[in-house]
Amino acid sequence: MVTDTERYQRILDRDVRYNGRFLTGVLTTGIYCLPSCPARKPKLANVRFFADEAAARTAGLRPCLRCRPDLFYRGQDSDEAIYEGLQTRLLADCSEVADPAALARLAGVSRTKLGTLCREHGHTSPAALLRHARQLATLRHLQASDAAIADIAYAVGYRSEATFHRQFLAEQGMTPGGYRSMLAGSRFTLRLPQAYRSAEVLAYLGRDPDGPAERRSGNHLCKAMLVQGQAIRLSLTLVPGQAHCEVASEQRLVPATMAAAHQAALRCLGLWRPQEETLSDPQALQLQASQPGLVFPLSASVWEALVWAIVGQQVNLTFAGQLRRQVILLAGADAGEGMQAHPSPAAVAALDPALLCERKFSRSKASYLVDTARHLVEHGIDIEQLPYQSAPAALRRLTALRGIGPWTAQYTLLRGAGFADCVPVGDAGLVAALQRQFALPQRPDAAQTQALMACYAPHRSLATARLWASLKPLASEEAA
């Protein structure tokens, strides 16, 4: 029989072989951990050992956010658990995390391992992960208080005001002072990158010319959307170097609505969570050089991308647009000026699939869409948190839903969650572009697509956009 002293030695050794054999309950903090937990070890007098999660929870303990025993007992990969636990802790409070070295210590791993975790699970780097967490914290402070901007910078972990202002402008497209002023108004201006290709972005945003949620005219686009539960019209006018944005609603605009509209504008314009490309492969460099200034616009929300993906299964872009149009007409919210905002998951969940079938949906597609919405609502899942999950875990969770296959899930991760290294295998436009790019006698199959896209890692999402753009005319990305 193993004694408590022997168990205690196992947790001092961080022995992964004992994960699942017992749990360590730390009475002073009220948490329970795996034996391998990297956190600082408690004194034996403050520890109780439990056979399983049920016993630990009965004792009033909660799972550790560092080693995530709850995820381990659900069978989730340990690296996924470490990454998602790190995200949770970082998004809750990043003020004491000075640099990537401190981030590695927070995760309880080496800097090399942290780099691998961020690359494989977040499609990002430790520095970019920390920078984004600081940006989110800054936005919350600017919305919640009238503290001096310099004080906010130091409060979220910046050590230099110059670095803070430079990174804020790069990430948010405006100055901190401009952001604060925006919250009380209805207009804001975003800085666009040099050689920004407005035409492609507007073409993507307005790809359904008859849709009730978008109107495009020249360099101007108006998009109806739901933010913070409020239907708004976000107008974007793109001129060299700038995007002039205006928000209108039938209801009074409040700071939370303006903050959400600002994030939606960044997403739609391909400016959300910008990352520097680090390419070395000649093929990747050649593709990059062939499409200068191209950015990768996202859907206004993760949910909107998922709906596009489901309605776009096995059909061309024109028909996908017709189906999406019916969803918006049936369940969308009135945004004024004759426009309707894309519906929420709850609104789609309330639809009768038979009603969709009367409007050209197949029975299976109508069922997939409504059942997915109902699953999200019934299980209290916030699909908008997908960007902060592990990418492999998010892919697995999506494909576990009936009717969501690899292409649908990858498209959602790519266009909705904004992951940087996705490959929508099976996409008709992508395989056609790869066939042309590599001068192949026939279109590549799934395995060949993965192999051909390997040279573009870790930026395969942007490479996919460049390959789509290489087709003239542009192939439908929704034709899987």
pLDDT computed for residue 477 by the predictor: 46
**Nearest alpha carbon to residue 81 among 27, 136, 19:** 19
Would you identify the CATH topology of the domain 4-73? Answer: DNA Methylphosphotriester Repair Domain (3.40.10)
CATH number, domain 302-469, options 3.40.50.10300, 1.10.10.60, 1.10.340.30, 3.40.50.720: 1.10.340.30
Query: CA 107, CA 283: separation in Å to the nearest integer?
Result: 35
> In terms of C-beta distances under 8 Å and separation of at least 24 residues, what long-range contacts does 197-205 make, across chains too?
197/293, 197/294, 197/295, 198/238, 200/294, 200/469, 201/238, 201/268, 201/269, 201/270, 201/295, 201/297, 202/238, 203/474, 204/297, 205/236, 205/268, 205/297
Q: How long is the chain?
A: 480
Where are the chain's structural domains?
4-73, 302-469
pLDDT computed for residue 98 by the predictor: 93
pLDDT computed for residue 480 by the predictor: 40
Orientation of helix 255-268 relative to helix 126-144, angle to 10°: 150
pLDDT computed for residue 475 by the predictor: 43
Six-digit token string for 219: 């360099």
- The answer to whether residues 265 and 190 touch, using CB atoms and an 8 Å cutoff, is yes
Q: Which residues pair with 232 in a beta bridge?
A: 225
- What does each of the 480 residues of the chain score in pLDDT, given as a tens digit? 778 999 999 999 888 888 989 999 999 999 999 998 888 889 999 999 999 999 999 999 999 887 888 888 887 777 888 899 899 999 999 999 999 999 998 888 889 999 999 999 999 999 999 999 999 999 999 999 999 999 999 999 999 999 999 999 999 999 999 999 999 999 999 999 999 999 999 999 998 888 999 999 999 999 999 999 999 999 999 999 999 999 999 999 999 999 999 999 999 999 999 878 888 889 999 999 999 999 999 999 999 999 999 999 988 889 999 999 999 999 999 999 999 999 999 999 999 999 999 999 999 999 999 999 999 999 999 999 999 999 999 999 999 999 999 999 999 999 999 999 999 999 999 999 999 999 999 999 999 999 999 999 999 999 999 999 998 654 444 444
Query: CA 99, CA 158: separation in Å to the nearest integer?
Result: 10
Cα angle 52, 86, 458; round to 5? 120
pLDDT computed for residue 116 by the predictor: 95
pLDDT computed for residue 473 by the predictor: 56
Binning the chain into helix, strand and coil, the percentages to the nearest 5 are: 50, 10, 35
